[in-house]
Amino acid sequence: QLQLQESGPRLVKPSETLSLTCSVSGGSMNSNSYSWGWIRQPPGKGLEWIGSIFYSGSTYNNPSLKSRVTMSVDTSKNQFSLKLNSVTAPDTAVYYCARHLGYSHGGEWIDPWGQGTLVTVSS
Protein backbone atom coordinates (compact mmCIF):
# COMPACT_ATOMS: atom_id res chain seq x y z
CA GLN A 1 0.00 0.00 0.00
CA LEU A 2 1.48 3.30 -1.08
CA GLN A 3 2.20 5.72 1.74
CA LEU A 4 3.53 9.28 1.73
CA GLN A 5 5.07 11.24 4.59
CA GLU A 6 5.96 14.92 4.72
CA SER A 7 8.97 16.19 6.65
CA GLY A 8 10.65 19.54 7.17
CA PRO A 9 10.77 22.60 9.44
CA ARG A 10 7.47 23.49 11.08
CA LEU A 11 8.38 27.14 11.61
CA VAL A 12 9.70 29.45 8.92
CA LYS A 13 10.52 33.14 9.24
CA PRO A 14 8.90 35.70 6.91
CA SER A 15 10.82 36.29 3.67
CA GLU A 16 12.67 32.96 4.03
CA THR A 17 12.18 29.73 2.10
CA LEU A 18 9.83 26.93 3.13
CA SER A 19 11.33 23.52 2.36
CA LEU A 20 9.50 20.20 2.59
CA THR A 21 10.33 16.65 1.54
CA CYS A 22 7.89 13.85 0.87
CA SER A 23 9.05 10.27 1.35
CA VAL A 24 7.20 7.61 -0.62
CA SER A 25 7.01 4.02 0.59
CA GLY A 26 5.22 0.93 -0.66
CA GLY A 27 5.80 1.64 -4.33
CA SER A 28 8.16 3.07 -6.91
CA MET A 29 8.16 6.64 -8.12
CA ASN A 30 9.55 5.57 -11.49
CA SER A 31 6.32 5.34 -13.40
CA ASN A 32 4.91 7.27 -16.31
CA SER A 33 1.44 6.64 -14.88
CA TYR A 34 1.78 9.05 -11.97
CA SER A 35 3.10 12.40 -10.94
CA TRP A 36 3.82 13.66 -7.43
CA GLY A 37 2.48 16.85 -6.00
CA TRP A 38 1.69 19.28 -3.23
CA ILE A 39 -1.54 20.76 -1.89
CA ARG A 40 -1.93 23.15 1.03
CA GLN A 41 -4.74 24.10 3.39
CA PRO A 42 -4.60 27.24 5.56
CA PRO A 43 -6.08 26.69 9.02
CA GLY A 44 -9.86 26.55 8.79
CA LYS A 45 -9.86 27.09 5.03
CA GLY A 46 -10.06 25.13 1.81
CA LEU A 47 -7.57 23.25 -0.32
CA GLU A 48 -5.18 24.92 -2.76
CA TRP A 49 -3.27 22.97 -5.40
CA ILE A 50 0.39 23.98 -5.45
CA GLY A 51 1.82 21.86 -8.23
CA SER A 52 3.11 18.48 -9.34
CA ILE A 53 6.26 16.92 -10.76
CA PHE A 54 6.62 14.01 -13.16
CA TYR A 55 9.32 11.40 -12.45
CA SER A 56 11.35 12.82 -15.34
CA GLY A 57 11.50 16.18 -13.58
CA SER A 58 8.88 18.07 -15.58
CA THR A 59 6.97 20.39 -13.27
CA TYR A 60 3.45 21.86 -13.34
CA ASN A 61 2.51 24.75 -11.07
CA ASN A 62 -0.45 26.75 -9.91
CA PRO A 63 -0.11 30.01 -11.86
CA SER A 64 -0.77 32.03 -8.70
CA LEU A 65 2.29 30.55 -6.99
CA LYS A 66 4.45 29.67 -9.95
CA SER A 67 7.17 32.27 -9.48
CA ARG A 68 7.82 31.22 -5.87
CA VAL A 69 7.67 27.42 -6.22
CA THR A 70 10.45 24.99 -6.99
CA MET A 71 9.91 21.24 -7.03
CA SER A 72 12.38 18.41 -7.44
CA VAL A 73 12.33 14.64 -7.45
CA ASP A 74 14.90 12.03 -6.42
CA THR A 75 13.60 8.65 -7.56
CA SER A 76 16.67 6.86 -6.17
CA LYS A 77 15.60 7.91 -2.68
CA ASN A 78 11.87 7.68 -3.42
CA GLN A 79 11.50 11.32 -2.41
CA PHE A 80 10.30 14.58 -3.88
CA SER A 81 10.60 18.09 -2.52
CA LEU A 82 8.95 21.50 -2.43
CA LYS A 83 10.53 24.90 -1.93
CA LEU A 84 8.40 28.02 -1.57
CA ASN A 85 10.39 31.21 -1.34
CA SER A 86 9.66 34.65 0.10
CA VAL A 87 7.03 33.30 2.48
CA THR A 88 4.62 35.51 4.38
CA ALA A 89 1.98 34.82 7.02
CA PRO A 90 -0.69 33.77 4.45
CA ASP A 91 1.59 30.85 3.51
CA THR A 92 0.87 29.34 6.92
CA ALA A 93 -0.94 26.09 6.16
CA VAL A 94 -1.03 22.33 6.40
CA TYR A 95 1.02 21.11 3.46
CA TYR A 96 0.09 17.74 1.95
CA CYS A 97 2.11 15.69 -0.47
CA ALA A 98 0.20 13.27 -2.68
CA ARG A 99 0.29 11.10 -5.77
CA HIS A 100 -1.41 12.51 -8.85
CA LEU A 101 -3.02 10.11 -11.31
CA GLY A 102 -4.64 10.45 -14.68
CA TYR A 103 -3.82 10.84 -18.32
CA SER A 104 -1.70 13.97 -18.45
CA HIS A 105 1.76 14.18 -16.94
CA GLY A 106 0.43 16.50 -14.23
CA GLY A 107 -2.43 14.21 -13.24
CA GLU A 108 -6.15 14.81 -12.98
CA TRP A 109 -6.99 13.35 -9.56
CA ILE A 110 -5.13 12.80 -6.30
CA ASP A 111 -4.70 9.59 -4.33
CA PRO A 112 -3.36 8.84 -1.79
CA TRP A 113 -2.46 11.83 0.35
CA GLY A 114 0.17 12.16 3.06
CA GLN A 115 -1.02 12.98 6.56
CA GLY A 116 0.01 16.62 6.16
CA THR A 117 2.33 18.87 8.13
CA LEU A 118 1.51 22.29 9.56
CA VAL A 119 4.03 24.94 8.59
CA THR A 120 3.78 28.26 10.37
CA VAL A 121 5.30 31.45 9.01
CA SER A 122 6.22 33.69 11.92
CA SER A 123 9.17 35.62 13.27
Partner 1 sequence: QSALTQPPSASGSPGQSVTISCTGTSSDVGVYDYVSWYQQHPGKAPKLIIYEVIKRPSGVPDRFSGSKSGNTASLTVSGLQAEDEADYYCSSYAGSNNLVFGGGTKLTVL
CB of 117 to partner 1, least distance (A): 11
Distance from the first to the final alpha carbon of the chain: 39
Interatomic CA distance for residues 2 and 104, integer angstroms: 21
Do 101 and 113 contact (CB within 8 A), yes or no?
no
Question: Cβ closer to partner 1: 86 or 104?
Answer: 104
Interatomic CA distance for residues 123 and 22, integer angstroms: 25
Question: Cβ closer to partner 1: 14 or 102?
Answer: 102
Binding site for partner 1 (CB under 8 A): 39, 46-49, 52, 60, 62-64, 96, 100-102, 104-116
Question: Cβ closer to partner 1: 63 or 76?
Answer: 63
CB of 63 to partner 1, least distance (A): 6
